[in-house]
C-alpha cells in the first residue's frame, strides 16, 4: 500500500465550482483535471488498496484535508475514476493538518526537509512545485507521518464539500452555498454531468 498526494488548487474565481473530489460518492477523477499526471490511464502508478492524501491550497498555506480509505482504481482506458467508501468525509479546511505555510510551520517535519531543495521563493511555492503534478508515491517518511497524524487526530468533518476548500469565512465558500452548489440534488447532477453514476455504491 502506498500514499499518493493529490494537489487541489484554490478556486479560480466565483464561477469555479471545484466539484472534484465528489466526496458524497467516494469519487475522484471524473472531471479529468489530473488526467495528464496522476490519473493518466496509460502511466498511472495507482493500485487498488492505495490511499490518497488530498492537499488543498489556501492563503499562504497548504493543508492536508483528507486521507482517503483504501481506493479502487476504476474507469476506462480514456479516463480513470478513483473510488472509496462513500461514507468517508474529509476534515474542514481550518481544522485540517498543516502540510506547510509560508513561515515554514508544518505538522509534518519530513515535509519541510523534502521541499528544502526546490527552487521556489516560498515554502508553499516549493511544496506546490513538488506535489502539483507528482505521479509517484509520497516518500516513506512523510507518508508515515501523514498516516500517524490521521490516526491520532479527529478533526471536524465537512458538512458540505466546500468546507474542505475554504475556511468558514471564505468568500467563495459563502458564494457557493448561496448559489446552491452544495445541495445534494445539485451535487448528484454535477457528478452525472461528468459521467458519474450517482446511484452506484462502492460494492
Whether the pLDDT of residue 19 is over 80: the answer is yes
Per-residue pLDDT at 200:
65
Residue 63 contacts residue 97 (beta carbons within 8 Å): yes
Please state the pTM of the whole predicted model: 0.94
CB 6: neighbour CB atoms within 10 A? 25
pLDDT tier at 116 (50, 70, 90 boundaries)? confident
Indicate the average pLDDT of the chain.
94
Whole-angstrom distance, CA of residue 58 vs CA of residue 60: 6
Condensed to tens digits (0 to 9), the pLDDT of residues 41-87 reads 999 999 999 999 999 999 999 999 999 999 999 988 889 999 999 99
**CA 93 to CA 171: how far, in whole Å?**
14
Res. 199: pLDDT tops 80: no
**d(Cα 35, Cα 59) in Å, to the nearest integer?**
26
What does the pLDDT look like over 128-146, one tens digit per residue?
999 988 999 999 999 999 9
Beta-ladder partners of 186: none
Flag whether pLDDT at 203 surpasses 50: no
pLDDT digits (tens, 9 = 90+) for 144-193: 999 999 999 989 999 999 999 999 999 999 999 999 999 999 999 999 99
pLDDT at res. 77? 81
16-21 mean pLDDT:
96
Amino acid at each position: 500500500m502506498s500514499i499518493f498526494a493529490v494537489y487541489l488548487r484554490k478556486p479560480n474565481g466565483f464561477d469555479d465550482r471545484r466539484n472534484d473530489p465528489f466526496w458524497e460518492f467516494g469519487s475522484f477523477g471524473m472531471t479529468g483535471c489530473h488526467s495528464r499526471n496522476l490519473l493518466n490511464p496509460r502511466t498511472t502508478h495507482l493500485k487498488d488498496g492505495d490511499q490518497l492524501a488530498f492537499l488543498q491550497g489556501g492563503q499562504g498555506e497548504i493543508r492536508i484535508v483528507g486521507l482517503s480509505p483504501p481506493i479502487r482504481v476504476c474507469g476506462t482506458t480514456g479516463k480513470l475514476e478513483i473510488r472509496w467508501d462513500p461514507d468517508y468525509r474529509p476534515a474542514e479546511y481550518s481544522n485540517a493538518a498543516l502540510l506547510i505555510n509560508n513561515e515554514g510551520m508544518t505538522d509534518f517535519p519530513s515535509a519541510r526537509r523534502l521541499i528544502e531543495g526546490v527552487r521556489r521563493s516560498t515554502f508553499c511555492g516549493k511544496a506546490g512545485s513538488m506535489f502539483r503534478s507528482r505521479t509517484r508515491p509520497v516518500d516513506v517518511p512523510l507518508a508515515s507521518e501523514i498516516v500517524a497524524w490521521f490516526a491520532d487526530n479527529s478533526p471536524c468533518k465537512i458538512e458540505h464539500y466546500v468546507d474542505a476548500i475554504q475556511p468558514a469565512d471564505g468568500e467563495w465558500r459563502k458564494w457557493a452555498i448561496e448559489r446552491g452548489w452544495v445541495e445534494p440534488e445539485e451535487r448528484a447532477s454535477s457528478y452525472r454531468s461528468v459521467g458519474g453514476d450517482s446511484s452506484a455504491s462502492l460494492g
